[in-house]
Amino acid sequence: MSRRSKVPEKRAKLSDKEMRDMAKKKSGVRDARIISPSDVETATWVRLKCQFGCDCYGQCLVCPPFTPSPEQMRKVLDAYRRAILIHCDPEADVKAIVADLERNIFLRGAWKALGLGAGPCYFCKECNIEEEQCRYPEKARPAMEACGIDVFSTVKNLGFPIEVVRTRRQCPNYYGLILVD
Ligand code: SF4
């Protein structure tokens, strides 16, 4: 075998269509769309909704106050050109899906790929808050709202369905976001 044949094959950059197809093939994903991270809205009040109203505040390493502030997140979003927004089934494990997609996209050459899910993390019975060291860093990802993203405005403006859940019988809409490149 020649020296040259050992060089890994250089693959073309992941196209929007390939990325969308990759996402739509995942079990639990209803819809997926390539978006500009500039369409993702951040707001100062989002963290207050975690702090005053959610009993997971401070209870898990992927929730505030351990996550980026809305101002920090805005800077992060502005460092990307493409992202993929996924609409998931109500019973889907959004965090697991975004971590998996993040890895698939990363392995296709998008070294900045970063996934954000929905809701708190339940991978451990009790989060390792004391040591501030996540036990499953390969799959624990913060929720969009935990990073100051206004999920309602973002998905509504992009034409996706979302409503305030008023009763237990109402079906919620869950979303994940993967920042790509
Ligand atoms: S994986 Fe475990 S340690 Fe990491 S954030 Fe989730 S609950 Fe906490």
The answer to the question of residue 59 being in a domain is: yes
The answer to the question of residue 44 being in a domain is: yes
Measured from the CB, is residue 136 less than 6 Å from ligand 1? yes
The answer to the question of residue 5 being in a domain is: no
Q: What percent of the chain has pLDDT over 90?
A: 85
Give the nearest ligand 1 atom to 136 CA: 1
Decide if 153 contacts 41 (C-beta within 8 A). Answer: yes
Coil, helix or strand at residue 72: helix
The answer to the question of residue 6 being in a domain is: no
Q: How many domains does the chain have?
A: 1
CB-CB neighbours of 139 under 10 Å: 19
Range(s) of the domain holding residue 70: 14-179
Decide if 149 contacts 64 (C-beta within 8 A). Answer: no
Rounded to whole angstroms, the Cα distance separating 28 from 87 reads 9
Measure the N-to-C terminal CA separation of the chain; round to a whole number of Å: 35
The answer to the question of residue 72 being in a domain is: yes
The answer to the question of residue 9 being in a domain is: no
Token pair of 64 as six digits:
């505030």
The answer to the question of residue 2 being in a domain is: no
The answer to the question of residue 64 being in a domain is: yes
- Residues 78-111 pLDDT 10s: 999 999 999 999 999 999 999 999 999 999 999 9
CA of 172 to the centre of ligand 1 (A): 24
- Between these two residues, 96 and 10, which has the higher pLDDT value? 96
Q: Which residue among 56, 60, 131 has the greatest number of ligand 1 atoms within 8 angstroms of its CB, and so is best to mutate?
A: 60
Token pair of 32 as six digits:
């997926």
Rounded to whole angstroms, the Cα distance separating 142 from 65 reads 11
Rounded to whole angstroms, the Cα distance separating 89 from 56 reads 22
- Mean of the pLDDT values across residues 129-144? 95
Decide if 145 contacts 64 (C-beta within 8 A). Answer: no
pLDDT of residue 5: 54
Q: How confident is the model at residue 170 (pLDDT cuts 50, 70, 90)?
A: confident
Q: In the predicted model, is pLDDT for residue 8 greater than 60?
A: no
CB-CB neighbours of 124 under 10 Å: 13
